[in-house]
Amino acid sequence: TESYTRAQYCKWPCECPRWPPRCPAGVSLVTDGCECCQTCAKQRGQRCTEADTCDFHRGLYCDYSGDRPRYEIGVCAQIVGVGCVLNGIRYKNGETFQPNCKYNCTCINGAVGCVPMCTNSRPPLVWCPNPKLIKMAGKCCEQWICDDSRKIRKTSPRHISSAAYEGEDEAWQKNCIVHTSPWSPCSKTCGLGISTRISNDNDQCRLLKESRLCNMRPCEVDITQHIKPGKKCLAVYRANEPMNYTISGCVSKSPYRPKYCGVCTDNRCCTPYKSKTIEVRFQCPDGTEFSWKIMWINACFCNLNCRNPNDIFADLAHYHDYSEIAN
């Protein structure tokens, strides 16, 4: 019998790139089968090995049956699971489909997850006082315009070309698939930053960009000094005295005592897992006032799995060991 040496796809000690790869939208960033490096999970029909793992978030596994008797190189296949029904149409588990031109959806064991296809359009520049998404004739995705019709509605309510307004009230609104993306991570790890999301949860079923201010933790405070002896993390930090929010010299009319996410002395990171959005009223030195939405942190947890904003399936992950997220 001819001897055969099994190929080794894992090498130790681990040698990983300095930065993890950027995966395409919908492809999970996972730890490879060697438990070494972060990598983009293999998708249905792609080759897999003991090192190149399949995307378990999509219900895939590595099928080695076609590589007998070596069982070294397999193909990512779908685990048999529950299908989905959407708008009266039945889809198989793992099937990817488009209910319309705006969404690309996947059936995952009875649940439908959708990714918006209309994500390339950007709002007008900051000088635009009233950006607006409108339906363009002959195009699927809405386009941003700078709508100043409020100023000149008496003289020219249809100052924008009729082509822009043609077909604005589309019939698909009746079968609108409501999609509200999670708030993006705060643009700053400390101090005042910006968080955004996309939502079509409105009467017109239009994808609109929403933004809010966020403050993960104060930059001027060394939170590690507040970690209790014997502990490695402080999940939530809260100052003793109330404070006022400040934006460009304008101060909030009321004082607040917000909670912040803490820090760890090991490799874990602390992120919010319970938060809400509040509206804060500001007053400026010249007497003018304005309101801003601000993220209000209720609770944070410290974990080893620092979320990658590019992984749309991050919320489906299960934490098998609660000690990883305990304070």
pLDDT of residue 149: 54
- Position 75 confidence tier, pLDDT thresholds 50, 70, 90: very high
User: Of 39, 42, 96, nearest to 73 (Cα)?
Assistant: 42
Q: Let me know: does 116 contact 141? Beta carbons within 8 Å.
A: no
Q: Which two tokens stand for residue 155?
A: 């003289």
Q: 186 CB contacts (<8 Å, ≥6 apart)?
A: 193, 194, 195, 214, 215, 216, 295
On the question of a common fold for 84-116 and 191-303, the answer reads no
Q: What is the percent of the chain with per-residue pLDDT over 90, rounded to a whole number? A: 19
For the chain, give every domain's residue range: 8-79, 84-116, 121-147, 191-303
- Asked if residue 264 has pLDDT above 60, the reply is yes
DSSP letter assigned to residue 61: E
Report pLDDT digits (tens) over 174-222.
457 777 888 888 888 888 889 888 888 877 788 888 899 999 999 988 9
Please give the Cα distance from 296 to 243 (Å, whole number).
14
Q: Does the pLDDT at position 309 exceed 50?
A: no
H/E run at residue 163: helix 162-165
CATH class of the region 84-116: mainly beta
Contact 300/271 with Cβ under 8 angstroms? Answer: yes
CB environment 8-41: b (16+ within 10 A), e (fewer): eeeeeeeeeeeeeeebeebbbbbebbbebeebbb
Question: Measuring CA to CA, which residue among 290, 292, 295, 289 is closest to residue 279?
Answer: 292
Overall fold of domain 8-79: Omega-AgatoxinV (4.10.40)
Per-residue confidence (pLDDT) for residue 183, from 0 to 100 = 84
pTM, to two decimals: 0.43
Mean pLDDT estimate for the chain: 78
Model confidence at 159: pLDDT above 70: no
Q: Return the CATH fold of 191-303.
A: Cystine Knot Cytokines, subunit B (2.10.90)
pLDDT one-digit tens code per residue, 76-126: 988 777 788 888 888 887 788 888 888 888 887 777 888 887 776 666 655
Helix (H) or strand (E) holding 162: helix 162-165
Instruction: Let me know: does 196 contact 209? Beta carbons within 8 Å.
Output: yes
Question: How much is the pLDDT for 52?
Answer: 92
pLDDT at 162 over 60: no
Residue 173 has pLDDT above 50, yes or no: no
